[in-house]
Amino acid sequence: MTGEQDEASASARPRRRAPQQLLFSFLGSLVLDRGLPPISSRVFLHLLEDLGVAEAAGRATLARMTRKGQLARVREGRTARFSLTPWAEELLREATPRVRSAEPFAHPGGAWTLLSYSMPESRRDLRHQIRARLIWAGFGGLRDGLWIAPGRVDIGAIFAGPEFAGLAELADAFYSVPVEGTDVPRLLRRAWDVPAIRAEHESFIATWTPDRERRGSPLSRLTLLGADWLQLLRTDPGLPAGHLPADWPAPASTALYRERFAALEPDAADQLRTLLAADAGRR
């Protein structure tokens, strides 16, 4: 192989996703708001095994998500069954509009959101959660305590929830526009790793182009597709197209995700119904 062939082959290899990422993809794509009963651990472990996750790691992930309040666990004889908690349902519903958007990387031109906040020592345990919410909302760090995001971000949504009570009062946010003469492309590269964002898009496209995508059942492929898409949405905040190269790959990634999801979802849903029916027969 030439160097270019090696690089293309490497970018097309599906990346390993953490079991929790895979389960959130599965739950958001095929379980949320579908009226399904609690799902047995057997079904979760079957799915994870098909994605290369060992049984012990799968059981540990279910236990960890239960401890975190993301899954509710009930016993039926010797079988453990799991369902989304109301809090987890709310988180997934909040993510759904961007996941399904026809233009998830687009923002109204010209507007920016600046946010400055400090975390008191007594609330340091929430730092990671707030940072994850900021990244999902499209923020990049300009310097310590100062974040910027394209478009007009709903700051209240970031700090919503009883666990974040009082933190919004420690944040100052402004909607703004760059002063004339500001080197916006340079600013983008200070707040975000633009080459890494491009590489994430290119990896997604290389992995999910139909003649290259991984083999496996529709259920496992849809789950991995969703996990890769969520990772891409976390990586790319939707940088303004006018300050990016003309060949920026975000539109191609979006079109590919929508096409592959539409192709895989019906068969994946059928496979899940079959698994649930077979599992119900084992009660």
pLDDT tens per residue across span 174-211? 999 888 888 988 989 999 999 999 999 999 999 999 87
220 pLDDT above the threshold of 60: yes
- pTM of the model as a whole: 0.87
Per-residue model confidence (pLDDT) at position 234: 94
pLDDT category of residue 256 using cuts at 50, 70 and 90 = very high
CB 82 within 8 A of CB 41: yes
Q: d(Cα 43, Cα 161) in Å, to the nearest integer?
A: 31
Closest CA to 44 of 13, 71, 15: 71
Per-residue model confidence (pLDDT) at position 255: 97
pLDDT category of residue 222 using cuts at 50, 70 and 90 = very high
Better pLDDT: 243 or 21: 21
Q: Measured in whole angstroms, how far is the alpha carbon of residue 1 from the centre of its chain? A: 34
Q: d(Cα 213, Cα 35) in Å, to the nearest integer?
A: 30
Per-residue model confidence (pLDDT) at position 16: 75
Per-residue model confidence (pLDDT) at position 210: 87
Per-residue model confidence (pLDDT) at position 28: 96
Q: d(Cα 209, Cα 12) in Å, to the nearest integer?
A: 9
Please state the rounded mean pLDDT for residues 229-237. Answer: 95
Better pLDDT: 240 or 122: 240
Q: d(Cα 72, Cα 57) in Å, to the nearest integer?
A: 19
CB 194 within 8 A of CB 188: yes
Helix, strand counts (H, E) of the chain: 11, 7
